[in-house]
Amino acid sequence: MTNQTIRQKLRPFSLFTASMALACAATGAQAAAQDTPSTTSASSSNQTGTTTTSGTGSQEQDLYNHSADTSHDVTHVTASPMNVLHESIGLSRMPQDAMHTPQNVNVVPQVLMQQQNVKSLDEALKNVPGITASVGEGEGGMAGDQFLIRGFAAQNDIYENGLRDFGVYTRDSFYYDHVSVIKGPSSEVFGNGTTGGAINIVTKTPHLGNSYQASFSGGSGSYYRGTLDVNYQLNSTTAFRLTGMGNENNVVGRDDIYSHRWGIAPSIAFGLGRKVSFVLEYFHQNDNRIPDYGVPVVYSSANAIGRPVTEYGVKRTNWYGTTYDQDNSSTDMITGRLTARVNPILTLYNDMRGGIFHRYFSASQEACSNFSSGATLTNNTINGVAPSSTCQSDFFSSNPAAAQVARNGGVGGPEPYRQSDWSIQDVFSGVARLKTGRIRHEIIGGFDIEYVTDHRQNYAYGSNRPSTSLLDPSPAVPGLTLGDCNQYPDRLVNIGNGVGRKCYKDSDALDVGFFLSDQIWLTNYLSVKAGFRWDNWNSHYSATGGSTATPDVHYGQNETTINPSVSIMYTPRSNLMVYFNWSESTTPLSMYVTNSSEPLNSKSATASPERSRLYEVGAKYSAFHDRVGFTAALFRLEKNNSIQTDPSTGDISATSDQERNQGLELSASGTLLRNWMFYGTYALYDPTITKAGSTTSKQGGQIQYVPHNQATAWTSYEIAPRKPWNMTIGGGITWRQGVWLDQANTARVPATVEFDAMVSHHFADHWKVAMNAYNLDNRLNYGSLFSNRVTPSIGRSFLFNISAQY
């Protein structure tokens, strides 16, 4: 089992034409009367909590060049690091902060992640309503970070500093500064995809001045974790930063599940504080973990609603995998980000990333089925008998111990595979702030070019993995052999649509996009922003080798799309904005190059892309001298030609389903009173299948995975700060109402309720000890969801942490 050499297909692209076009357009316009400060610099003081002074009758100018209403401010106040409205979105194409972005944006700030001792992207996103996690299925396996935003797939919509993170792995948060979730279709900014929104990770970067931080955590589930964060100033404009992590843990409440990972992220910045700056970053993460496909959903009778088998008394710790299961991944990315302030009018950016991703994945997909008398399930037959075909009826009989769970899934898989991917992306953009007569503009334009390729080699077991007991499973499988596709070509998974039992599967896609937007101030308080993005998405897929019974297949898809966006913003004061946003997004079926082993087939190659449309009205208000931020948004999200994933084969296909999710989202975050911080969100959704174009969907039913209600809250209070007996106590709740697991609304998972808490103490000026408790009432919650199985979340656990910061 050796990796096949990755073919070199890098294609050079010149950015000279783009830079000249933007520069010439800006030079021909009249310069703005005042040099508008950047949002990033304006928000930096809020992130560090520095003091803001306002005197009686003062008139301060904000980013949008109108007076801030501060005449009533007569005190010295401190902006709260928990107020996320002045956090940057973290990418050059969206230079505004969360306050002035005309979409609902949820930001998970650094201070919140520190108090909760967040260790992964999944843990950070628990603070964001409307996000759920799903597990991959079928032969593709997937797993890793597979999120849904407002109920719509976002596994291809994870970004880091505005550049796509294409790998399929579980992301550690050791190098995060904060995480932004931009809700709603955002193809005008990010390109194809982003039906429910986009997740953007903002990383820690070098800064002037020296700082040193280290921490160690240990606790339940044999948890051991160490992190390091060192920043060193080399000269007046250059600094180097190094962050690192080592982590080993089991999962409390689940048998045989563990993760052993380590990572390192060095970076260097040149030209800090100068007109031209450049940041060079490298990231590596290596992870050896056991994939957890959870527990099956069962039906007690023909007309019953399906529920997780653990709701009927089966142990939450049961894991139905084998000793052959593993998920080993290695991710490397190098990123360069150039910023050039050409003149007071024009700023140019060029962000480039190259990445390599390797993975070996082997997982057992359990199935607890029920067939009529005499029926057999061919792929799970053992010596001519299929004991797992009567799993459900056996479990609900007088002898439940007879129930056997299949581990080959619905099609005899997923089989192990080795994945080798690489990708390169370059985004060139320019931001011009200028006047034409009396009208002010903020023009953003540029090019986005990305190429990604995926190569997979499938492996096969010499025989079927035998079933195991539903009540008392065993991972041991004596006599099972694993070979390559030449040894067992007929044992490869025979999925449909002409792919067959093939050994090698190759995918690649080239995306070339152009984006342009203009925000026009009709008055000092009223502005309109309109923009679009043009994309050409050209993808290819082939399945070759292996069994000769099915011929090799080659598919391709070429889609040209235009995605517009229009926003109206009313900002009567610098700390208040009311907005309306309309935007569209497009998702070709071949978007999932690295996330699925079957991105194209004979049916989907000619299918129309998925289209979604957003209508949103909202308000954002930073109150009490920037100590507390409030947001409210009413939205309606419509999706046509919905993409669905078959739970048995993993095939991604287009349907004629039409879906609509509409609702209300609220948030409040900041310092309520002296030493008292709060972060809270709430979402009320009405997710409806407005047209059931397939037999697996229910007309008027509820969209799978989307709850009607969801809320999070976290609060902390610091007692006697800067005193020897100081203490910070905090706690929070995560609540998600029960959701349907399928579009037919026949299987349901109960509500999630999790109570967490923390206590910490500072000593010797630079040291801190803390204790975090998770799921205090040891409730049986479910994290990753899919149509016929769910994964129980972590049980009650405790984590001790000691850290030093200089």
Cα separations (Å) of 11 from 111, 510, 537, 637? 41, 10, 15, 37
pLDDT-derived band of residue 18, with 50, 70 and 90 as boundaries?
very low
**What long-range pairs does 377-384 form, CB within 8 A, spacing at least 24?**
377/406, 379/406, 379/408, 379/409, 379/410, 379/411, 379/412, 379/464, 380/406, 380/408, 380/412, 380/464, 380/467, 381/464, 382/464, 382/466, 382/467
φ/ψ (deg, to 5) at 21: -65, -45
pLDDT of residue 652: 56
Burial of 668 (0-12, 13-18, 19+ CB in 10 A): buried
In which residue are the tokens 């709701």 written? 311
pLDDT-derived band of residue 350, with 50, 70 and 90 as boundaries?
very high
pLDDT of residue 707: 93
- Secondary structure of residue 10 in the 3-state scheme: coil
Q: Who wins on pLDDT, 734 or 604? A: 734
How does strand 197-203 pair with strand 158-160?
parallel
**774 pLDDT more than 80:** yes
pLDDT of residue 413: 56
The answer to whether the beta carbons of residues 207 and 231 sit under 8 Å apart is: yes
pLDDT-derived band of residue 571, with 50, 70 and 90 as boundaries?
very high
β-pair partners for 753: 735
Lowest-pLDDT choice from 15-24, 89-98, 378-387, 789-798:
15-24
pLDDT of residue 21: 35
* Rounded Cα distance, 673 and 671, in Å: 6
Mean pLDDT of the chain: 83
Domains for the chain: give ranges and CATH numbers.
105-371+384-769+778-805 (2.40.170.20)
* Rounded Cα distance, 205 and 191, in Å: 26
Burial of 709 (0-12, 13-18, 19+ CB in 10 A): middle
pLDDT-derived band of residue 651, with 50, 70 and 90 as boundaries?
low
**35 pLDDT more than 70:** no
pLDDT of residue 639: 86
Our measurement of the distance from residue 795's CA atom to the centroid of its chain's CA atoms, rounded to an integer in Å, reads 23
Q: Who wins on pLDDT, 695 or 171? A: 171
Q: Who wins on pLDDT, 755 or 390? A: 755
Q: Of 727, 592, 611, nearest to 652 (Cα)?
A: 592
Lowest-pLDDT choice from 153-162, 376-385, 584-593, 737-746:
376-385
pLDDT digits (tens, 9 = 90+) for 201-225: 999 999 999 999 999 999 999 999 9
β strands within 120-237, DSSP E: 131-133, 147-149, 152-153, 158-160, 163-164, 176-183, 197-203, 211-219, 223-235
pLDDT digits (tens, 9 = 90+) for 123-152: 999 999 888 876 554 444 556 788 888 877
Structure tokens at 525: 């308080």
- Average of per-residue pLDDT across 703-710: 92
* Rounded Cα distance, 650 and 500, in Å: 14
pLDDT digits (tens, 9 = 90+) for 139-185: 445 567 888 888 777 778 899 999 999 888 899 999 999 999 999 88
* Rounded Cα distance, 152 and 145, in Å: 14
3-state percent breakdown (helix, strand, coil) of the chain, nearest 5: 10, 50, 40
pLDDT of residue 740: 93
pLDDT-derived band of residue 602, with 50, 70 and 90 as boundaries?
low
pLDDT of residue 143: 67
Q: How many residues does the chain have?
A: 806
Q: Who wins on pLDDT, 500 or 766? A: 766
Structure tokens at 394: 């056996």
How does DSSP classify residue 192?
Answer: S
Our measurement of the distance from residue 341's CA atom to the centroid of its chain's CA atoms, rounded to an integer in Å, reads 31
pLDDT digits (tens, 9 = 90+) for 449-508: 999 999 989 888 888 788 899 999 999 988 888 888 888 887 777 665 556 778 888 989
pLDDT of residue 46: 36
